[in-house]
Amino acid sequence: MPASPKPQARPQDNHLLAALPTTALERLLPHLELVALPLGKVLYESGDALRHVYFPTNSIVSLLYVMENGASAEISVVGNEGLIGVAVFMGGESTPSRAIVQSAGHAYRLPGQRLKDEFNRHGELLVLMLRYTQALITQMAQTAVCNRHHSIDQQLCRWLLLSLDRLKGNQLSMTQELIANMLGVRREGVTDAAGKLQRLGVIEYSRGHIKVLDRPRLEQLSCECYAVVRKETERLLPYLPTRPQA
């Protein structure tokens, strides 16, 4: 028998787009373009003028702050719950962070002006964007606290959980070197932390492929930062699918 065709991506695979009223979504549909986001692709660099926004469907994009010496640390992750490019409708037009694809997949790209036009109608999209931005700010603030006060082991658990929430299934493709760059720590620290999780039977790690075997245990080993971000995101964005409970 011939193989069944792979399901095609739809704008509604992004939860922000899915939450829009039909009339608002129909105004955007002619301008939405499905684009591939390969691993490591940079969507914009620090200081770039943002001409487009991206609504991920099955990809994850990291927002990184890059220091003058080249060191970097992740300040937030964005997946199918949100969009890349909040500066477009917040009035800044650019941002000091870099946006880089952490997990390959697809996104719908929309010209920034089209988003601003819909935002300025002062309708449902405006409310959604502002609530999403508040959730994003919460994630950024909690990440800063976590990086300062919690161990690499706890940070890795938080990072894995946030990533899982934005993907279908329980598997991630990510090298330890890339995780270290995201967390702003030494690779050896990530190697040790991942090794502990593997020995506990929480994850299975091999050649850049991570499979989470015991999510409830992973949540127990994480610091409170993950729960804070998750609770606030679900409060602000009640349209998100329910996440697995530990």
pLDDT number for residue 242:
54
Question: Per-residue pLDDT for 107 more than 50?
Answer: yes
Report the pLDDT value the prediction gives residue 191, as an integer from 0 to 100: 81
**Does residue 237 lie in a domain region?**
no
Q: Is position 75 within any domain?
A: yes
**Mapping DSSP to helix (H, G, I), strand (E, B) and coil, where does residue 49 land?**
coil
Distance CA 164, CA 173 (A): 11
Residues 63 and 122 in one domain: yes
Give the number of other Cβ atoms within 10 Å of residue 180's Cβ: 19
Q: Is the pLDDT of residue 6 over 70?
A: no
Taking CA atoms, 132 is separated from 103, 122, 157, 193, in Å, by 21, 15, 23, 31
Whether residue 114 sits in one domain with residue 20: yes
Which domain, by its residues, includes 61? 14-147
Examine residue 58 and state whether it is found in any structural domain, yes or no.
yes
Q: Are residues 156 and 142 in the same domain?
A: no
User: What is the reported pLDDT for 5?
Assistant: 46
Of 147, 179, 196, the last residue of a domain is 147
173 and 128 within one domain: no
Torsion angle in degrees (nearest 10) through CA of 22, 27, 31, 33: 0
Q: Is the dihedral of CA 223, 226, 166, 185 positive or negative?
A: negative
Q: Please determine, for residue 176, whether its predicted confidence score (pLDDT) is greater than 60.
A: yes
The 10s digit of each residue's pLDDT in 196-215 is 888 999 989 887 788 999 99
Final residue in a domain of this structure, among 81, 114, 147 = 147
pTM: 0.87
The pLDDT value given to residue 49: 85
Position 144 scores a pLDDT of 85
Question: Final residue of a domain: which of 147, 166, 199?
Answer: 147
pLDDT of residue 241: 64
Number of domains in the chain: 2
Each residue's pLDDT tens digit, 52-101:
999 999 999 999 888 778 777 788 899 999 999 998 988 877 788 899 99
CA distance 92 to 48: 11
The domain spanning residue 137 has which CATH number? 2.60.120.10
Residues 43 and 117 in one domain: yes
pLDDT (tens digit, 9 = 90+) per residue, 110-154? 999 999 999 999 989 999 999 999 999 999 988 888 878 888 888
Q: For residue 234, is it within any domain?
A: no
pLDDT of residue 170: 85
| Confidence category of residue 3, pLDDT binned at 50, 70, 90 | very low
